[in-house]
Amino acid sequence: MQRLQVIPLLGIPELTKGADLVQLILESMERTGVVAEDGDIFVVKQKAVSKAEGRVVALDEIRPGKKAKALARAQKKDPRLVELILKESVRVVRAGHGVIITETRHGFVCANSGIDQSNVGAGLAALLPVDPDKSSRQIRRGLEGATGKRLAVVVTDTFGRPWRRGQTDVAIGCSGIAPLNPYAGKKDKYGYVLRVTEPAVVDEIAGAAELATGKLTGIPVSLVRGVQYRRSEDGARSLVMQKRRDLFR
Q: Which residues pair with 101 in a beta bridge?
A: 94, 111
CA distance 192 to 195: 9
Query: Is the per-residue pLDDT at 195 higher than 90?
Result: no
Q: Which amino acid makes up residue 173?
A: G
Is the Cβ–Cβ distance between 107 and 237 less than 8 Å?
Answer: yes
Helix (H, G, I), strand (E, B) or coil at 238: helix
Q: Is the pTM of the predicted complex or chain greater than 0.75? A: yes
Query: 116-127, pLDDT tens digit by residue?
Result: 988 888 899 999
Q: What is the pLDDT of residue 218?
A: 85
Is the Cβ–Cβ distance between 72 and 64 less than 8 Å?
Answer: yes
Size of the chain, expressed as the number of residues it contains = 249
Is the Cβ–Cβ distance between 118 and 216 less than 8 Å?
Answer: no
Q: What is the pLDDT of residue 184?
A: 65
Closest CA to 157 of 104, 121, 234: 104
CA distance 13 to 51: 12
End-to-end alpha carbon distance in the chain: 38
What band does 190 get if pLDDT is binned at 50, 70 and 90?
Answer: confident
The pLDDT of 223-228, averaged and rounded, is: 96
Average pLDDT, the chain: 92
The sign one gets for the Cα dihedral 39, 230, 226, 23 is: positive
- Could you give the domains of the chain? 5-46+130-245 (3.30.1330.100), 57-125 (3.90.1660.10)
Q: What is the pLDDT of residue 168?
A: 93
Q: How many angstroms separate the Cα of 197 from the Cα of each of 168, 182, 230, 238?
A: 21, 6, 16, 16
Closest CA to 152 of 222, 47, 238: 222
Query: 54-89, pLDDT tens digit by residue?
Result: 999 999 999 999 999 999 999 999 999 999 999 999
Query: 4-46, pLDDT tens digit by residue?
Result: 999 999 999 999 999 999 999 999 999 989 999 999 999 999 9
The DSSP secondary-structure symbol of 32 reads H
